[in-house]
Structure 1
């Protein structure tokens, strides 16, 4: 099998590729994490990797003055998306992709943190999220975005209309977290303890819901990514 490369831009250690690591390796990808807190790792060629994944994190697109790395990522993605190179954004990653495509990113009507299923959109082409029908997924975000020009809305929730978008087979932005691993969820609860307390969200309830839904999402998310990778051009 010909080896391919995936670079995963990581903002915080525990928000990694999670359950997506296995299907990536099975599809022949060598995984390289790019930790944006390390200055020397941020000088990326936007077109070099066969696949670029931009992961989640506790900052937002509109925090670019406090965290200049956001501006760097938008510029990187602007070049990559213009070339239609395979790109996947998760949560913050999808928001950065939307900004790079010229869409507005802004605070949502409420924080969406917890487990709930998606409302999948009827699309002309097969919906890449079809495997998540009736599967509760993990949501963890406060911001949202307008649908970028030239992209197709593929999923919504009552709180957040623009949950996911695609552009052809190569570009996929997901506001939610399909990659979360139940076995590592305590890292999320500890790492985001301050945000949960401020939002009045119970870690006990989140832990319980993860025990109920985590395995189903891992299985569905793994299949989803494997199928998406197989369609890349």
Structure 2
């Protein structure tokens, strides 16, 4: 049985570990069925071939692909280059891929679409997602309601639908919440693995990273606890079931 390749970008160990645990729990995966690589701490093996895995999952992170090269730290530039190096093989061969938050920026940049901070960045909170006409027929959205909330918090976003992509989920605050390239390459702007406890922990970890005023952390944590966010995890579980 092939493993899933899980690529993580978060330099904060507690955030990275919690994200990985969420991928396992929400996806119904055992750790033995994954190959986890923390790109902040290790390089991609030079002979790594994404076709040897059941699928590739890319987590979130504080980097922005739309930043000018001189504004990216060496670490962020290295991580971005590592993930981008896999994308030609993934899209050319239509290999199973699920990019979460940062991953939608990676996919957009690889496909030559506009990714930026000027229009659709979303503050930490929830997005009101609606399944599009194309999304109704997509297997990763099977079992999801036509409208649901998802946790978001990002500075940049797709500003246009990349060429060759289907538009699966939309929201008033950010129109491109989920897209699919080909038949098997997916990306979400929200965090499909995040529940209220996971997002509360991230708020604590990232309170000084520019996503929100630090003194608003308490209000945001209260918002997470009151939010009804359960549907997005079905996307992750459907991805694992379909390709695992």
- Structure 2 length as normaliser, TM-score? 0.80
Distance 1:36 1:28, change over 3 A: closer
CA shift digits 1:7-32 (9 cap, x unpaired): 11111141524543135445997122
Distance 1:64 1:24, change over 3 A: farther
RMSD: 2.8
CA shift digits 1:152-177 (9 cap, x unpaired): 11112222111110134411110111
Say whether 1:74 aligns with 2:72: no
Distance 1:158 1:108, change over 3 A: farther
2: CA distance, partners of 1:217 / 1:94:
20
Whether the 8 Å CA contact 2:6–2:59 is kept in 1: the answer is yes
Q: Which moved more, 1:66-75 or 1:123-132?
A: 123-132
2: CA distance, partners of 1:198 / 1:183:
18
Whether the 8 Å CA contact 2:152–2:191 is kept in 1: the answer is yes
Give the secondary-structure state (helix, strand or coil) at the position aligned to 1:161: coil
Distance 1:201 1:117, change over 3 A: farther
Q: Which residue of 2 aligns with 1:141?
A: 154
Distance 1:186 1:123, change over 3 A: closer
Distance 1:167 1:27, change over 3 A: farther
Distance 1:132 1:179, change over 3 A: farther
Q: Which residue of 1 aligns with 2:176?
A: 162
How far apart are 1:98 and its partner, in Å?
1.7
CA shift digits 1:113-150 (9 cap, x unpaired): 21132122111761433615332210111111221111
Say whether 1:60 aligns with 2:64: yes
Whether the 8 Å CA contact 2:180–2:187 is kept in 1: the answer is yes
- Structure 1 length as normaliser, TM-score? 0.84
The higher relative CO (CA closer than 8 Å, separation ≥ 6) is in: 2
How far apart are 1:63 and its partner, in Å?
3.8
* Structure 2: runs of 5 or more not aligned: none
How far apart are 1:200 and its partner, in Å?
7.1
1: CA distance, partners of 2:50 / 2:185:
14
Q: Which residue of 2 aligns with 1:49?
A: 53
Alignment of 1:67-106 (within 5 A): 67-106=77-116
How far apart are 1:34 and its partner, in Å?
0.9
1: CA distance, partners of 2:26 / 2:35:
15
Distance 1:124 1:143, change over 3 A: closer
Equivalent pairs counted in the alignment come to 228
CA shift digits 1:188-213 (9 cap, x unpaired): 11221113575578222221121122
Say whether 1:30 aligns with 2:33: yes
Q: Which residue of 1 aligns with 2:132?
A: 121
Say whether 1:176 aligns with 2:187: no
How far apart are 1:39 and its partner, in Å?
3.3
